[in-house]
Amino acid sequence: MTITQGRELPERGDEPPVAPGHSPLLGHLKPLLADPLGLLAALPHIGDVVELRFGRTPTYVVCSPEAAQQVLRNADHAFDKGGTFYENMRSIVGNGMATCPLSQHKRLRLLAQPAFRSDRMTGYARAIQKPVHAFTAAWCPGQTLDVLPEMRSLATRSTLATMFCRREFDREIAGLRQAVTDFVNHQTILRMIVPGLNRLPTAHNRRYRTSEARLLRFLDEEIAAYRKDHQDHGDLMSMFTTSLDSDRLSDREVRDTAMTVLLGGVTATAVGHAWALHQLSQDAALDNEVAKEAQAVALLDEGHPADEVMAQLPLIRGVVAEVLRRRAPSWIFPRVTVKDVVVGSRRIPAGAQVLLSPYVLHHHPGLFPAPENFDPHRWQGRDPHRAPGWLPFGAGASKCIGYELAFMDLTFSLAWITRSWRLEPGPHPVRPRPRLHLEPHGLTLRLTERSPH
């Protein structure tokens, strides 16, 4: 064993190299804020694990596919959810599956898993279809969309439709959408690194706390109503609030789980929708192929189950898989080491923060040839959920519990939109903006109605 700062580290492995470009006081904070994706993209050329510094605190970025799989599979129980990012997120969304320590995760997942059974997906798909059709029916030829806010509005409606079928939410939609928007705008990279900024008495923080209170009040009222009627409405909340077992989710656990699903369902889904529409707007031939496929398949309301319809959309599924590879909304996953560990060829001490970036791995040429090319045909005959290194929903025991529902939502919504609409590129350049999710900044698209099929 080797002694480092009073601790014994495993004999095997070297200390990770430090990325260049850091300053004595701020470390790598300046390049991270200036160009986070550029900083991350340079790290695999340095090593399989590379040290970044924020102030004097070391953070280790896992850059190789093998090392990333080791962290995500966590077979030696050396990693957990912790550090400043999760402290910040727990103060916002509670202690649900996305943020809780692994010691609590297994129980929460087992209790919530029935809500995501495959036999419930057709009901969820039909619930999504209605708001997508109603939303796009209000579009007009020649209209220019500010795409990300538009997709956030759509995702708010579709997420509420899968979560709460007990009643309509027309009156609450605008307020809930604004609350989610305030949540997104609150999650800057600087706030993730320095969560103390959230406690300052600023107008921005006060506005966020008002929106947070609105969301929590809404969820508490719905949980009480679902507990009272004891009925299965075919939605997620029915499954979260009813159980035949003696052990069940408490009201607080239901609220934390619902907050995670609601915010994740709206924010990540909206970003995925926006990037998919952007990509199709850049390739007229691909867009036409997608529209023909969408127009050729049977609709869900004609009695076909969701998995049958999904099987008839191989190209659209490939587009969604490729969007989630090239522009994964969740572009970084933090972990903390709970004991000394060797990752790849590098030693990492207990208590260190470890970052995994799907963005880095999804652009690794060893995993995805010509990674900068958008090629949905690379997924022909492949299940992306089983593809090594494809990590938009994470992997291992902490993989997003709603990954099947999220992928289905993106696939069907894209099919339903492209059946009737072509979206042409706007005049401004579009660039990825890393915040809580990897957003398309500056994306506007012009609507053109397709000829009836």
> Which residue type sits at 231?
Q
pTM: 0.91
Among residues 336, 448, 329, 433, which one has the least CA distance to residue 391? 329
The DSSP bridge partners found for residue 347 are: 342
Q: How many CA atoms lie within 13 A of 343 on its CB side?
A: 37
The continuous run of DSSP H or E covering 173 comes out as helix 173-186
* pLDDT digit string (tens) for the chain, length 453 residues: 333 344 444 445 688 999 999 888 888 989 988 999 999 999 999 999 999 998 667 899 999 999 998 998 898 899 999 877 787 778 777 888 888 888 898 999 998 999 999 999 999 999 999 999 999 999 999 999 999 999 999 999 999 999 999 888 878 888 888 888 887 777 777 777 677 777 888 888 888 889 888 999 999 999 999 999 888 999 999 999 986 566 789 999 999 999 889 888 899 999 999 999 999 999 999 999 999 999 998 766 667 899 999 999 999 999 999 999 999 999 998 899 999 999 988 999 999 999 999 999 999 999 999 999 999 999 999 999 999 999 999 888 888 999 999 999 999 999 999 999 999 999 999 999 998 899 999 999 999 999 766
CB 176 within 8 A of CB 156: yes
Q: What is the pLDDT of residues 224-239, one digit of tens each?
A: 999 998 889 999 999 9
The continuous run of DSSP H or E covering 52 comes out as strand 49-54
Q: What is the pLDDT of residues 60-95, one digit of tens each?
A: 999 999 999 899 889 889 999 987 778 777 877 788
> Which residue type sits at 46?
I
202-227 per-residue burial string, b: 16 or more CB within 10 A, e: under 16: eeeeeebeebbebbeebbeebbeebe
The span from the CA of 412 to the CA of 126, in Å, is 10
DSSP state of 114: G
CB 451 within 8 A of CB 147: no
